[in-house]
């Protein structure tokens, strides 16, 4: 088998096989080499393609940013504030921004990517395939200066992140390469337009919201208080609130808000404000260039008046006391017309008699009766029961028979004033000491005599049938004669008590401790009420009038209840005074509703509290160009963490918002930047005229007007005031007669003491000896009233003493003094009532005379006599009894319409907008009146910043005839064009 060669392969065949294998291997290796070379070339070309795409993407992203920058620049210069046909300005502006950014980007793509962008062998084409959209990037803004009370926002949309759907197409000339893809271009738009827009919207909102309202209100309060207290103490200025000063307040408040929001203000506007505030004689440019004006950035609310004041004293304390209440109740107690009735009740009793008859054996030819004996019986301690017996011999007429008649007097109830049976041993005279003087009180010792007047004993004795044996008569009420010291002593006591109360009851409060006048008033009367109640037991001094549960004498009982009634009336007045602020609020609300439906006394109190809080930090800094800090990266809406500075510049035109018409030099737009109105609610002395307690103040005003009317050189005012004086004099003469006679008729003590002829002659004598002008002058200070009252009181005393001498001759001086004092108080009260009725009847004439005088005096304010007369015209709301004239108040309603015709905000440290000439431009946001057009359509309007505020302020000064208020011109002051419709 080894030698078998049939299976052998020829060597040539093997060689051929090897050659074939070698050839195949060589071919494969050559193929592999060729493939590697091709792949290497392909990779190189792919890298070039990717680089071309990346370069295009980067360029388009940058182009998107620039397209948005130009769009935001256009938007900032011409934002839509009012959309034509309605709608949201924010949505309209966003759609405009999208359209403008898309148009700008499309133009760029068309110019640069329609066959003109080469990278190596590649041509890149790009097109916008949809709308540009924006995401907000929120950041926190930290200010260097902020409002001390109402801080600004801290989070804003500082930037937009733009996105745009892009289609890219890449080709290589000379090849079949055609690559297309879509991608979303994204860019952080490097303009802070959104921040400027939001800051300006916030500024406008603050000008129309609580922030500026608080600024204006606080400034108004500081202004009103400074000028009001100056007027109270010195009489000047004639008007407390002036529209020019309100314009200054409005400018200061708007700039304060501008500084808080932007941390920058228009520097020329700031200089204008300083010029108007501190030195109106200098030009704005001069003030702006004055390097010594270190105060230019400092705004103090107390500097809101351009006029220097003679005095800026403000009462640090208010004194509240019960003097007015006590004096009023004392006068009422002395002149009480029912005093006689009350005294009679103290000396009244209810009693009856029992009769026993026994025949006598003896006979006599005499007629009539003889009292055999009379003696007191042992009555009860409180005086009830049988207390006196009389035994009579009575003869029957014509028969000669006689009988023994025993009459027992039995007391059922004694001393009927406010109860009964509460006087110790009332049937006996007793001593009583009052104010160190000793008196004898007859008590009910004359009860039998009083009963005899009601049922004469002779009738009982002579009528055995009508008054038989065993008869018990019906109870009769009788009044006993009493000693005439009782009324006078009780009046002396309450006079001393009044002085004691006035010394004890009173508080001094500081306005700074209370949020409003209402809180202070209520606190004052609550404290006084507490003081009064703490001393009430001592004031009542019950131990001086009682022994245990019973009174010492009937006179002591009357004096005690007189004293108690006096105290109760004072307590009731103080109690009603606790709600004094509510009465004030009602008066304010009644007047305020004529000018505003949204403000009332509650608004006034809230304003006072808020202003007090703000005025505690009176130094306000008005900055320009201060750096603020933006920080991001703290939330999902601001994922990019970085920090940067922001500094803004403001351009406001006009620099000072005035009441005169302003014309925009670029657009011709005409407007009054400020329209101001102030209404002094209690300017005319309406509430003085309508308040009986302030009659003297009104008469003083009439006297002042009448005495200087001729100096106005106005015949109508002179005639008007002369007629008013004559009418007042004539009416007062007759009214006094009527009221005095009425008072005398209704007073039991004074009835018969004075006749109508006495009153007629006394009043006529007082008026006949004076001219009408002199009569008004003497009535204002009470001289004429006291003269009449004292004359009639002396006559009443003389008559009373003559009558008393005829009766008893006891306590003549005491009783005479009592009658004189009572008559004088009654007559003075009647005269006061008469004058109040005269003023009320002539109130319309009085108000008109005051109004006409003040209107004419507006052009004569340099006349010293007229200025002095104006000071005497009462102004304001007198805060009067029943709670005591503790102060006078006035209230002002203030209304402000404002418009900033041009406001531009520049982002000064960021100039992202490319500029062919200057390299870069700053972002700006502008508000001004302008139509915004898109193609041929009106898309809306850009609008100036407008604001409107209504507020109110008040001042309270101590009591006094002149009060406080605006005394020149009318009670309503409007700036020029206030009622014109806005442009």
| Burial group, residue 619, by CB count within 10 angstroms (0-12, 13-18, 19+) | exposed
Average pLDDT over residues 299-326: 60
Which tens digits make up the pLDDT trace of 832-867? 889 888 888 888 888 888 888 888 887 776 778 887
Q: How far apart are CA 662 and CA 149, in angstroms?
A: 33
Which helix (H) or strand (E) segment is 136 a member of? strand 133-142
Helix or strand or coil: residue 796?
A: helix
- Name the nearest CA neighbour of 929 among 942, 938, 917: 942
Strands 82-83 and 430-434, how do they pair? unpaired
User: Which of 170-184, 499-513, 690-704 comes out lowest in average pLDDT?
Assistant: 690-704
Which tens digits make up the pLDDT trace of 402-457? 888 999 999 999 999 998 899 998 988 899 888 888 888 899 988 888 888 888 88
499 DSSP assignment: H
CA of residue 421 relative to chain centroid, distance: 56
Per-residue pLDDT, 288: 45
- Here the tokens at position 371 are 């009292």
Q: How far apart are CA 196 and CA 202, in angstroms?
A: 10
Q: Model confidence at 4, in pLDDT bands (50, 70, 90)?
A: low
Helix-strand-coil split of the chain, %, nearest 5: 45, 20, 30
Residue 928 in this model has a pLDDT that exceeds 90: yes
> In Å, how far are 279, 620, 671 from 272, measured between CA atoms?
10, 17, 19
Is-contact 737 754, C-beta < 8 A? no
Return the number of other C-beta atoms located less than 10 Å from residue 947's C-beta: 24
Residue 360 in this model has a pLDDT that exceeds 90: no
More confident residue, 929 or 825: 929
Q: How far apart are CA 434 and CA 558, in angstroms?
A: 12
Highest mean pLDDT among 245-249, 308-312, 798-802: 245-249
Q: How far apart are CA 813 and CA 793, in angstroms?
A: 14
Residue 389 in this model has a pLDDT that exceeds 50: yes
- Here the tokens at position 775 are 């009569």
Strand ranges (DSSP E) for 423-472?
430-434, 437-441
Q: How far apart are CA 353 and CA 340, in angstroms?
A: 28
- Name the nearest CA neighbour of 884 among 521, 452, 496, 417: 521
- Here the tokens at position 191 are 């303009």
- Name the nearest CA neighbour of 325 among 43, 567, 589, 647: 567
Report the number of secondary-structure helices (H) and strands (E) in the chain: 25, 35
Q: Model confidence at 897, in pLDDT bands (50, 70, 90)?
A: very high
- Name the nearest CA neighbour of 408 among 389, 427, 394, 392: 389
Per-residue pLDDT, 637: 58
Is-contact 880 573, C-beta < 8 A? no
More confident residue, 214 or 653: 653
Q: Model confidence at 297, in pLDDT bands (50, 70, 90)?
A: very low
Q: How far apart are CA 460 and CA 463, in angstroms?
A: 5
Beta bridge partners of 651: 904
Helix or strand or coil: residue 960?
A: coil
- Name the nearest CA neighbour of 811 among 566, 564, 555: 555
Q: How far apart are CA 820 and CA 815, in angstroms?
A: 9
Per-residue pLDDT, 281: 47
Is-contact 673 944, C-beta < 8 A? no
Q: Model confidence at 560, in pLDDT bands (50, 70, 90)?
A: very high
Return the number of other C-beta atoms located less than 10 Å from residue 883's C-beta: 25
Alpha helices (H) in 842-909, listed in sequence order: 843-857, 864-872
Which tens digits make up the pLDDT trace of 900-923? 999 999 998 888 888 766 678 889
Q: How far apart are CA 780 and CA 741, in angstroms?
A: 22
Q: Model confidence at 301, in pLDDT bands (50, 70, 90)?
A: very low
Report CA dihedral (569, 571, 573, 574) to the nearest 10 degrees: 170
- Here the tokens at position 691 are 């308040």
Per-residue pLDDT, 906: 93
Is-contact 906 926, C-beta < 8 A? no
Q: How far apart are CA 946 and CA 672, in angstroms?
A: 11
Q: How far apart are CA 557 and CA 550, in angstroms?
A: 9
Q: How far apart are CA 731 and CA 747, in angstroms?
A: 24
The radius of gyration computed from the CA coordinates of the chain, to the nearest angstrom, equals 51
- Here the tokens at position 485 are 């010291």
Which helix (H) or strand (E) segment is 772 a member of? helix 772-780
Average pLDDT over residues 887-892: 80
Q: How far apart are CA 69 and CA 96, in angstroms?
A: 13
398 DSSP assignment: T
Is-contact 219 301, C-beta < 8 A? yes
Q: Model confidence at 3, in pLDDT bands (50, 70, 90)?
A: low
Is-contact 275 287, C-beta < 8 A? yes
Helix or strand or coil: residue 882?
A: coil
User: Which of 92-101, 688-697, 738-747 comes out lowest in average pLDDT?
Assistant: 688-697
Q: Model confidence at 293, in pLDDT bands (50, 70, 90)?
A: very low
More confident residue, 278 or 236: 236
Which tens digits make up the pLDDT trace of 89-99? 999 999 999 99
Strand ranges (DSSP E) for 586-625?
619-621
Alpha helices (H) in 646-771, listed in sequence order: 686-689, 695-708, 715-745, 756-768
Residue 223 in this model has a pLDDT that exceeds 60: yes
Q: How far apart are CA 299 and CA 302, in angstroms?
A: 9
Q: Model confidence at 555, in pLDDT bands (50, 70, 90)?
A: very high
User: At a CB cut-off of 8 Å and minimum separation 6, what does 185 contact?
Assistant: 57, 60, 61, 64, 162, 163, 164, 165, 166
More confident residue, 162 or 13: 162
CA of residue 130 relative to chain centroid, distance: 60
**Residue 214 CA neighbour count, 13 Å, CB half:** 20
Per-residue pLDDT, 370: 79
Q: Model confidence at 153, in pLDDT bands (50, 70, 90)?
A: very high
Average pLDDT over residues 708-721: 86
Which tens digits make up the pLDDT trace of 774-827? 999 999 888 998 999 899 989 888 887 787 776 666 667 777 788 888 888 888
Per-residue pLDDT, 669: 92
Alpha helices (H) in 81-167, listed in sequence order: 89-112
State residue 107 phi and psi, 5-degree precision: -60, -40
Q: Model confidence at 298, in pLDDT bands (50, 70, 90)?
A: very low
- Here the tokens at position 295 are 């105060």
**Residue 566 CA neighbour count, 13 Å, CB half:** 31
Q: How far apart are CA 358 and CA 862, in angstroms?
A: 102
- Rounded to the nearest integer, the mean pLDDT of the chain is 82
Q: Model confidence at 698, in pLDDT bands (50, 70, 90)?
A: confident
Alpha helices (H) in 279-387, listed in sequence order: 284-288, 323-334, 339-346
Percent of the chain with pLDDT over 70: 82
By residue count, the chain amounts to: 983
Per-residue pLDDT, 305: 44
Per-residue pLDDT, 622: 59
- Name the nearest CA neighbour of 890 among 695, 686, 703: 686
Q: How far apart are CA 814 and CA 806, in angstroms?
A: 16
Which tens digits make up the pLDDT trace of 29-82? 776 765 554 444 455 566 778 888 888 899 999 999 999 999 999 999 999 999
Which tens digits make up the pLDDT trace of 99-151? 999 999 999 999 888 866 777 788 888 999 999 999 999 999 999 888 877 88
Q: How far apart are CA 199 and CA 630, in angstroms?
A: 13
> In Å, how far are 536, 575, 839 from 532, measured between CA atoms?
6, 10, 35
Percent of the chain with pLDDT over 90: 31
Which tens digits make up the pLDDT trace of 199-215? 999 999 999 988 888 88
């Amino acid at each position: 088998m080894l030698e078998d060669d049939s299976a052998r392969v020829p060597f040539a065949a093997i060689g051929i096989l090897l050659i074939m294998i070698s050839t195949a291997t060589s071919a494969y290796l050559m193929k592999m080499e060729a493939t590697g070379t091709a792949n290497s070339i392909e990779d190189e070309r792919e890298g070039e393609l990717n680089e071309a795409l990346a370069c295009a993407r980067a360029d388009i992203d940058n182009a998107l940013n620039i397209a948005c920058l130009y769009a935001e620049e256009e938007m900032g210069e011409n934002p839509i504030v009012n959309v034509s046909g309605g709608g949201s300005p924010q949505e309209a502006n966003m759609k405009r921004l999208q359209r403008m950014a898309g148009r700008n980007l499309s133009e760029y793509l068309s110019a640069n990517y329609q066959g003109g962008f080469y990278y190596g062998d590649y041509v890149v084409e790009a097109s916008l395939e949809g709308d540009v959209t924006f995401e907000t990037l929120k950041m926190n803004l930290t200010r260097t200066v902020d409002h001390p009370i109402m801080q600004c926002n801290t989070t804003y949309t500082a930037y937009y992140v733009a996105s745009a759907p892009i289609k890219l197409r890449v080709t290589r000339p000379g090849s079949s390469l055609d690559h297309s893809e879509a991608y979303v271009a994204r860019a952080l738009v490097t303009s802070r337009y959104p921040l400027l827009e939001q800051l300006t919207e916030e500024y406008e909102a603050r000008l129309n919201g609580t922030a500026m309202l608080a600024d204006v209100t606080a400034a108004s309060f500081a202004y009103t208080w400074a000028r009001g207290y100056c007027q109270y103490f010195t009489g000047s200025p004639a008007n407390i609130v002036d529209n020019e000063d309100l314009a200054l307040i409005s400018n200061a408040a708007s700039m304060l808000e501008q500084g808080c929001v932007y941390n920058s203000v228009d520097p020329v506007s700031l200089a204008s404000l300083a010029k108007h505030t501190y030195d109106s004689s200098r030009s704005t440019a001069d003030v702006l260039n004055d390097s010594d004006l270190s105060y230019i950035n400092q705004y103090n609310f107390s500097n809101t008046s351009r006029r220097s004041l003679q005095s800026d004293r403000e009462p640090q304390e208010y004194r509240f006391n019960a003097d007015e209440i006590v004096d009023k109740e004392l006068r009422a107690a002395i002149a009480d017309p029912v005093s006689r009735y009350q005294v009679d009740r103290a000396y009244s009793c209810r009693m009856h008699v029992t009769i026993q008859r026994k025949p006598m054996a003896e006979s006599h030819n005499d007629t009539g009766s003889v009292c055999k004996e009379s003696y007191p019986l042992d009555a009860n301690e409180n005086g009830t029961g049988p207390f006196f017996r009389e035994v009579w011999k009575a003869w029957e007429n014509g028969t000669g028979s006689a009988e023994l008649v025993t009459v027992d007097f039995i007391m059922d109830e004694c001393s009927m004033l406010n109860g009964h049976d509460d006087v110790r041993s009332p049937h006996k005279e007793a001593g009583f000491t009052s104010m160190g003087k000793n008196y004898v009180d007859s008590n009910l010792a004359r009860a039998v005599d009083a009963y005899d007047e009601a049922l004469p004993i002779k009738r009982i004795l002579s009528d055995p049938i009508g008054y038989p044996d065993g008869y018990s008569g019906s109870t009769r009420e009788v009044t006993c004669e009493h000693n005439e010291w009782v009324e006078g002593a009780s009046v002396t006591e309450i006079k001393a008590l009044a002085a004691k109360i006035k010394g004890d009851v009173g508080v001094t409060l500081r306005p700074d401790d209370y949020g409003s006048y209402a809180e202070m008033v209520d606190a004052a009367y609550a404290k006084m009420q507490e003081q009064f109640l703490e001393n009430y037991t001592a004031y009542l001094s019950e131990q001086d009038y009682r022994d245990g549960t019973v009174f010492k004498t009937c006179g002591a009982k009357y004096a005690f209840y007189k004293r108690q009634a006096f105290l109760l009336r004072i307590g009731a007045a103080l109690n009603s005074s606790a709600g004094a602020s509510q009465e004030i609020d009602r008066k304010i609300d009644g007047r305020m509703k004529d000018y505003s439906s949204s403000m009332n006394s509650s608004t006034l109190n809230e304003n006072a509290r808020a202003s007090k809080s703000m005025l505690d930090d009176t130094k306000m800094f008005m900055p320009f160009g201060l750096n603020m800090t933006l920080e991001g990266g703290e939330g999902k809406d601001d994922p990019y963490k970085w920090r940067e500075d922001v500094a803004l510049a403001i351009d406001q035109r006009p620099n000072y918002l005035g009441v005169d018409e302003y014309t925009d030099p670029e657009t011709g737009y005409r407007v009054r930047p400020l329209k101001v109105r102030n209404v002094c609610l209690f300017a005319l002395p309406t509430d003085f005229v309508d308040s009986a307690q302030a009659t003297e103040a009104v008469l003083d005003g009439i006297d002042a007007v009448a005495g200087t009317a001729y100096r106005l050189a106005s015949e109508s005012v002179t005639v008007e005031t002369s007629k008013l004086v004559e009418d007042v004099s004539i009416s007062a003469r007759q009214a006094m007669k009527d009221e005095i006679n009425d008072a005398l008729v209704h007073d039991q003590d004074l009835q018969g003491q004075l006749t109508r002829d006495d009153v007629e002659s006394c009043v006529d004598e007082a008026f006949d000896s004076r001219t009408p002008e002199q009569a008004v002058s003497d009535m204002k200070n009470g001289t004429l009233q006291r003269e009449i009252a004292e004359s009639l009181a002396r006559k009443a005393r003389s008559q009373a003493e003559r009558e008393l001498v005829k009766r008893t001759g006891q306590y003549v001086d005491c009783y005479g003094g009592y009658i004189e004092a009572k008559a004088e108080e009654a007559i003075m009260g009647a005269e006061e009532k008469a004058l109040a009725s005269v003023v009320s009847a002539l109130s319309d004439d009085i108000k008109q005379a005051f109004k006409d005088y003040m209107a004419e005096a507006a052009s004569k304010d340099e006349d010293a006599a007229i200025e002095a007369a104006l000071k005497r015209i009462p102004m304001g709301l007198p805060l009067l009894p029943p709670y005591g004239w503790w102060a006078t108040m006035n209230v002002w309603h203030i209304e402000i319409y404002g418009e900033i015709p041009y406001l531009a905000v520049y982002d000064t440290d960021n100039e992202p907008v490319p500029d062919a000439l200057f390299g870069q431009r700053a972002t700006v946001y502008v508000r001004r009146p302008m139509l915004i057009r898109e193609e041929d359509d009106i898309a809306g309007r850009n609008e100036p910043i407008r604001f409107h505020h209504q507020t109110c302020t008040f001042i309270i000064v101590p009591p006094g005839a002149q009060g406080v208020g605006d005394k020149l011109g009318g009670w309503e002051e409007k700036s020029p064009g206030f009622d014109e419709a806005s442009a």
